[in-house]
Structure 1
Amino acid sequence: MSDSDSRTLVILKEKGSTARLLNLLRFYMRPEGAPEGPPIFRNRLLRRAIVTKHCVAANDRSFADGRRHATKIILPLNAEDLRLGGRYFLLGQDNYAEVRRELWGDAHEDRSHDEEILGLLEGAPSLDPFLLREVFQRSQVRIDPAFLDLSENDQMEMFNFARSELSALAVALFGDAAADTDMQNKLVRKLLFNDETGQIEPLRLALKLDENNYAEGMFAWKGFLYFKWRYSKLVEEAPDVARGLQQVYATGNLDPEEKSAIRETRDNVSRRLAELTAAIPPFLSAYDNALSQLTEGGDASAFRDFLLDSPRIFLALGERMGVLDHIISVWSFMFPAGKKPMMPGSDLMELLAEFETLLTRFKYATPRSIQPVEDPAQPRAATG
């Protein structure tokens, strides 16, 4: 395991999770112990794992298919001292059959359950707890919700945000009576927090969607609302991170070449982080435009078309939001407001290089209208 992985483990011991990191170990390190309900994994080692969305290096020979990103499962060697690092494997790596035998042996029932979970984590665009809860619910996987805890404050903030976003939709669906706060609250609870599919029959009929397409569209719709709320929070923190990147001080004895490398990497991270921050709003605007055509123009077909295409847009947006959320969350944790950003030069270079690797995942272009639907990193296949 690399030094950067070990550093990440130490950070997570205190911080918890980010959009690219799901820390299950922390639940077993609490004085009160882990939640009593069904855990995410049945395997003893996996229950205490740290899951990450991992950028595959160009020279990484773990995959024959040359994929660019993967899901990494880290199994810490010592929960009491995470600086010691741990073992890890990548889902689908070339010797994955050996990993399966080592973890589960002949426990086929447990392996079947855990591999289903691993598949769901690999397919999720982000490890945000809200989105993972939706992923598990759609697949009818029962876990103790405490393992995917969204703080009460965050839940309330998101609820209020969604209510404001959907007030015009409530009126469009149910008439002027929906201006009543209770009606709006009911609609938001139905859409965001219902344990079932969240089906709102008048909306499904207006959009002329069958139940399967409706369920897929609702999942992505919840994701768009969540990402829009998260983005509104992140852009408030982004200026502090940008300033911190320019002010960060590398301690220790560094030669001129090392200082130059840190400056160059820092400037590259700053530029690409600004590009990423600016690249996300057009994705959200595509959603806003489609919804406004329904609520203001009464054009259900535009929003229907958006929902049918939304899973593809949602995946592209989710990857970008995951990187932005992760970088801002980790930086803000390591260098709280009011604290001068400084760290040993070697550690700073590793941190900046990690950020740079994440940010170079995407190629940016100025989108036109609804062009962000196309993921520049994964061009859509042409249809005849």
Structure 2
Amino acid sequence: MSDRAFRSLESLEKSASTARVLNLLQVARDYRLTPDWVDRPLFRTPELNACLLLKHRLRRNEYDIFRVPRQVATKIVVPIDRWDLKTGGRYVFVGQINYERTMAQVFGVTADHPDFIVLGMIDRLPSLDPFLLRERLSRAGLNPAPCYFQISDADLQDMLDFVKLEISPLVHLSLRRSSVGPRSIEGLALKILSNAPGDESDALRSALNLRADQYQECVFCWRGLLYYKWVMVSVLKRVAGVLDSIRLIKPIGPLDMISREYIVRSRKVLRTQIARTCLDVQNTLQIYDLAYADLTKQGNPAEFKGFLLAAPSLFMRLGEQLGAIQHIVSFSSYRFGAKAAPPGSEELMDILMDFEVSLRIRDVDAV
């Protein structure tokens, strides 16, 4: 489908969050001349390997595109002109009606094609965060180049202050100086977030007592845990308001006894599930905090290094949980906000049911 009225792709590139958009076009621009990008693509189909993937909140007029009701879908957007995003793009939703036929006609990708299977995996993820995505693909035996698992520029800027505060104790330890300037801290923060090499990185590798072949993997895991901590801080600031909106929202129109009972029950269940999920995430992140404290306060790198090397096993659960909470926070703000029209009873039940399902532990190994 063609969409020239699609919200400016140029604007989307600049403001996109890591969890919502996977900008393969930017990856292609930055890495197309590197052997890794050529030899280890995320998608084998050139058009797909230079598209934008979005976790898109469906509008009411888009619900009938799918046979099964859903609130969020994965949108594949292929720019009309890669070098002029203002021209818009063609798009298709993963799993929409006639999806298989559309993919075969437009991209030559049939249901047994590897790209079709990868898109199905991505669609089942609650977000596009790179740590969750890489771990999901790895469990399926897929190993795309590292350039596909970056944090977006928009999130990098927002994360920087948080990460500088987080790593300050380690900068002092790794550079072995009693007084470390803000440039040293910011420089290392940027290198951790962007995975760029440098002298500070060598000092960090020495402080962690890591071999060169271990270092890149550990930094990736550390970046993931810092990302999840930053996301959790943002989520906790908004979750109380979301719980209130779920509790207070009233549907318009007739409401039979069964619907009323379901809405009352679902509100209670969601409040409990959201609070429990937030606590579970905090408890998992506390394991990281303890290992990090052992390094920075006791000068013992062994536990922290071991934790980082084992960290990918945590990404699936953390990513699923935080992705579900982010979805609930984002969609509640959009649909239950002050300027939004009140939902009807059927729509409200659909939304509450979607929230409940998103909080359930998924079978992440299912293909």
TM-score (norm 2): 0.66
Distance in 2 (CA, whole Å) between partners of 1:283 and 1:297 is 21
1:226 paired with 2:259, answer no
TM-superposed CA distance for 1:340, in Å, is 7.9
Aligned residue in 1 for 2:158: 157
TM-superposed CA distance for 1:75, in Å, is 6.2
Aligned residue in 2 for 1:343: 343
Aligned residue in 1 for 2:39: none
Aligned residue in 2 for 1:139: 145
Q: Describe the superposition over 1:8-54 as per-residue Cα deviations: whole angstroms up to 9, x where unpaired.
A: x99xxxx9977765488xx9xxxxxx99958997437994764589x
Letter in structure 2 aligned against 1:255: D
Of the three residues 87, 105, 108, the one matched with 1:105 is: 108
Taking structure 1 as reference, are residues 330 and 207 closer, same or farther at Cα in structure 2, changes over 3 Å only?
same
1:271 paired with 2:272, answer yes
Q: Describe the superposition over 1:58-94 as per-residue Cα deviations: whole angstroms up to 9, x where unpaired.
A: xxxxxxxxxxxxx975569xxxxxxxx976349xxxx
What SS does structure 1 have at the residue aligned with 2:343? Answer: strand
Structure 2 gap segments, 5+ residues each: 1-5, 33-42, 58-71, 78-90, 138-142
Q: After superposition, where does 1:118-267 map in structure 2 within 5 Å?
A: 118=119, 121=122, 126-128=127-129, 139=145, 141=147, 149-151=152-154, 154-177=155-178, 179-195=180-196, 200-267=201-268
1:88 paired with 2:94, answer yes
Indicate if the aligned counterparts of 1:251 and 1:342 stay in contact, CA closer than 8 A.
Answer: yes
Letter in structure 2 aligned against 1:352: L
Distance in 2 (CA, whole Å) between partners of 1:202 and 1:23 is 32
Distance in 2 (CA, whole Å) between partners of 1:333 and 1:247 is 15
Distance in 1 (CA, whole Å) between partners of 2:181 and 2:117 is 42
Taking structure 1 as reference, are residues 254 and 313 closer, same or farther at Cα in structure 2, changes over 3 Å only?
same
TM-score (norm 1): 0.64
Aligned residue pairs total 306
Distance in 1 (CA, whole Å) between partners of 2:253 and 2:330 is 26
Report the more deviating stretch, 191-200 or 297-306: 191-200
Distance in 2 (CA, whole Å) between partners of 1:48 and 1:305 is 35
Aligned residue in 1 for 2:297: 296
Distance in 2 (CA, whole Å) between partners of 1:356 and 1:123 is 16
Distance in 2 (CA, whole Å) between partners of 1:19 and 1:163 is 19
TM-superposed CA distance for 1:287, in Å, is 0.9
TM-superposed CA distance for 1:186, in Å, is 1.2
Letter in structure 2 aligned against 1:139: A
Aligned residue in 1 for 2:357: 357
Indicate if the aligned counterparts of 1:327 and 1:355 stay in contact, CA closer than 8 A.
Answer: yes
Q: Indicate the RMSD between aligned Cα atoms, in angstroms.
A: 4.8
Distance in 2 (CA, whole Å) between partners of 1:201 and 1:342 is 56
Distance in 2 (CA, whole Å) between partners of 1:343 and 1:23 is 31
Taking structure 1 as reference, are residues 191 and 315 closer, same or farther at Cα in structure 2, changes over 3 Å only?
same
- State the percentage of identical aligned residues: 24
Taking structure 1 as reference, are residues 45 and 73 closer, same or farther at Cα in structure 2, changes over 3 Å only?
farther
Indicate if the aligned counterparts of 1:19 and 1:323 stay in contact, CA closer than 8 A.
Answer: no
What SS does structure 2 have at the residue aligned with 1:179? Answer: coil
What SS does structure 2 have at the residue aligned with 1:253? Answer: coil
